[in-house]
Amino acid sequence: MVGDCVECPFHGWRWGPDGTNRYIPYQPDRPSRALRLRVFPVREQYGCVFAWHQPDGEEPQWELPDLFHKFRQFDTDPDAYYRPYPEFSSRAEHEAVHPQIVAENGPDSAHFHYVHGATVTPVCLNWEAVDEEWRFLTGWPDVHSDDPNKMALYIHSHFSGLGFAISAFEGSSNHRLIFACTPVEDGYSDMFYSIWWPRLPGDTSEVPPDEGASRSSGSSWERCGRTWTSGAIRNTSSSLRCPRSTRNPIWPCASGRRNSTRRPPQTRSRPRETGPRRDRGSGTHRNRHAGVSGRGRRTQRGLAVLAEEARREAVPNIGRLLPAGRDAGVTIVHCLIQRRPDGLGGNQNAKIFAIGSGVDIAPGSPGASLLPELGPAPTDVVLRRSHGIGPMGGTDLDATLRNLGVSTIVAVGVSVRIAITNLVMDAVNPAYRVVVPQDAVAGIPADYATAIIDNTLSLLATVTTTDDLIELWRQS
């Protein structure tokens, strides 16, 4: 941190709280106002930092519960507790668990005997759903009493969203804790556990005099984690794979830690994560943006269905994107395919090339030309190829983009099934960043194209929409 900015440890660029670029070391008086990082809503409470994550970038749908004041039946002073980090906090990274372990752990009374070696089996005394929360009251029977309803310990647990719980202990122990499980990729989560332990009478230190309590308390949840990951219950939880990008919004926690070197999970999000769209500086920051359109030609026979699907949504949206990109200083590159009438020099080594063999895409023919509504404009670049299944390997596209200083590609056109996917992979391999407006590409069958976007392209590119991309360009 430098003032209120985050400084990149690699090149020293600084970014403000609103995500804008505030400082570049080699041009200190000219930060790039067009650059913006994605900003996550952050809350800090009692030594912990929480960040709101929602896959579509929506604002928080509820406020983070207060760790102490949400349990109004307990009048307590947060200063009467030791700090949670690092003495009373644990973190386990990249564990093969589903985030719903948090929701299952509290009301699951049976596991305490087998996992934690408890001699008393707790009982669920009450549960209710309140707005976004599940609330459970669990009781631990007093073994020294003849009254079966007398409890030695009560645990009040409130689960807020998926994978986050706050608990208040009442009775033989009176501490507070949070248990958070944040999905980081398909099948894996990071788990966080922090405890606020009551201070000893007369002790004003933030640090407890004996760390034994913290070690013993941490071992309990670690045993839970080991049981889940050991495979002992994998037969009952194998269908609970953690999604790469859970659709449920969550408040992930970083207990007492303000910095993390761990890369955030890749998610479908707004394209501002992909970096700059235009070079407005002196030219020393070569991080430009280009829009690359796929095959924009008329088709016949078996390709008629693809043409119809493209006309339905993709082509109109491409027609909106291109002028918006030009206005924002984005270089438009049209990648077209053509073939000699005798097929000389063209591919013959796969079925895909036979499918379009009856289509006239001879050089200069309408079939090998750009759709009139798409241009080209005087500032556009047009590249043609006569072989291959993607523009990166069959044209001068890579060399052209390198010469323009481009580092981010917006891929539009057809077909998602082959050409667009090939372009994305070929661009990612040499370190381009790729953005795919999902409503400006087309493929058949349409549901299969959607599946490719959701399950493959979203792992390689930032998937966005035409409207969001146009709005971002306008802001730049």
Confidence band for 355, pLDDT divided at 50, 70 and 90 = low
Task: State the DSSP H helix or E strand holding residue 400, giving kind and residue range, or none if neither.
Answer: helix 397-404
Report pLDDT for 258. 33
- Over residues 62-106, the pLDDT tens digits come to 888 888 888 888 777 888 899 988 888 888 888 888 888 887 776
Confidence band for 303, pLDDT divided at 50, 70 and 90 = low
Is residue 363 pLDDT above 70, yes or no?
yes
**Residue 374 · residue 323 · CB < 8 Å:** no
Percent of the chain with pLDDT over 90: 18
Q: Which domains does the chain have, with CATH numbers?
A: 39-255 (3.30.530), 271-475 (3.40.50.850)
* Cα distance between residue 243 and residue 19, in whole Å: 27
Is residue 108 pLDDT above 80, yes or no?
no
Report pLDDT for 435. 94
Percent of the chain with pLDDT over 70: 78
Q: Which residues contact 136 (CB under 8 A, 6 or more apart)?
A: 106, 107, 124, 126, 127, 155, 156, 157, 158, 159
What number is the average pLDDT over the span 171-180?
86
Confidence band for 475, pLDDT divided at 50, 70 and 90 = confident
* Cα distance between residue 116 and residue 113, in whole Å: 6
Confidence band for 8, pLDDT divided at 50, 70 and 90 = very high
Confidence band for 250, pLDDT divided at 50, 70 and 90 = low
Q: Is the dihedral of CA 14, 16, 21, 24 positive or negative?
A: negative
Report pLDDT for 439. 93
Between 451 and 108, residue with greater pLDDT? 451
Is residue 370 pLDDT above 80, yes or no?
yes
Q: Where are the alpha helices (DSSP H) in 204-341?
A: 212-230, 234-237, 304-309, 315-327
Report pLDDT for 225. 45
The end-to-end CA distance of the chain, in Å, is 26
Report pLDDT for 213. 47
- Over residues 150-167, the pLDDT tens digits come to 999 898 989 887 788 898
What number is the average pLDDT over the span 14-23?
92
Confidence band for 276, pLDDT divided at 50, 70 and 90 = very low
User: DSSP per residue over 242-273, as a string?
Assistant: PPTT-SS-B--EEET-S---SPPPP----GGG
- Please give the mean pLDDT across all residues of the chain: 77
Nearest C-alpha neighbor of 224 from the set 123, 140, 104, 121: 104
Report pLDDT for 20. 93
Report pLDDT for 292. 54
Report pLDDT for 15. 93
Confidence band for 356, pLDDT divided at 50, 70 and 90 = low
* Cα distance between residue 229 and residue 223, in whole Å: 10
Write down how long the chain is. Answer: 476
Tokens representing 212 are: 């034994």
- Over residues 199-242, the pLDDT tens digits come to 888 888 888 876 444 444 444 444 444 444 433 333 333 333 33
Report pLDDT for 284. 30
What number is the average pLDDT over the span 116-122?
79
Report pLDDT for 227. 41
* Cα distance between residue 399 and residue 250, in whole Å: 43
